Structure 1
């Protein structure tokens, strides 16, 4: 059985501008704008009588206008939900592919984590949640992780050991102090033990001498915080799997 929306679309493809075609076009346009028209409003827009609208509804197999609109709203909600779900699945697929492309970074970081006890995790405000999540994971591997956020002291000599592993999550607007602090620790760190993970906007390898850096460019034009956070979550999940591997 064809959906109401399919029946309406078929009517819009008619060669002649019949009244049925005009009604179908106006109903579809209204639904796309999330507008629910009364039978009287639809008749006025289409320059037809309300009885013509009733006949139109009956011709496509619905007994009355109220039921017609109710079914159409249900179909629209279903299609909208499917489209949103497909978008999310597409983003997840792109992020997973991005992780595979950057497997070398994940592998190198996992190897350093395995052989290092003290691990410093630097975070901007928007990445504190992922830093804390990574900290919890590292504690399970008997590491000594330290999340460094907001308590930067750019006036004192940083207490960073050259054998420490430094992981930096960098994105957002609140990165000025963090950037300043990273420049201070440059001379105290080992580039092979510095790992930078940054957004495309904040990506700058000059901030921290590092042999390993990762740009959050997961093959999608959608760079909202929601999907950026999702990319970090999947990245850390892949990192945990790699740490577990022999």
Structure 2
């Protein structure tokens, strides 16, 4: 499924907290933040009539097999948390949030990618400040696209939360059921996972191209998985031990030295 959004559809979903963080505005006077926000809003006004953003996703039959996910006809090995958040808590793996193959019952997992019109990254090069602003807003729009898409998936396309009712800014606090861990983030740091996701959803349909290390172009792109389990949660793997990394490389069928290049 491919979705397209106008900039004005995404503005309510923009995380201004991360916008300010990118600019290093923590602790800065309120007036400086308001000035920067106003300049960003002015650029968004220009972008509204010029650009769209894009999402591609699908929802697959899935099961877990140990620390691997079986998604459609693909096997996706995953990593397990090295140190739990608190004493007595389990060491989590994303595969824990999907029914095991031994249950004999099919579960579901979603895969997605979002991106911006690549022109956003190139159309403001005549001015360094404007170029930086466009880059930062492009990243926020890619994330906002993922937020808007995930909302529609939960309520309509997957439909496991049809009565969900949060305003866009509430969604940024993640009060809803399910998670969408992104590639390159703490629970799924291996950028080469993008090659597997690409086989599932064909990111090229929305103009995303992968580098040899699995990074996405345009830079302002997001990819990942979607889980519906009521107890699914985000977590940080922590420092990955050599033993687990070697096991992961074996399950991926990739040399250990290559895996080390992918895992951030």
The normalised TM-score by structure 1 is 0.19
Q: Which structure dedicates a bigger proportion of its chain to strand? A: 2
Higher helix share: 1
**Normalising to structure 2: TM-score of the pair?**
0.18
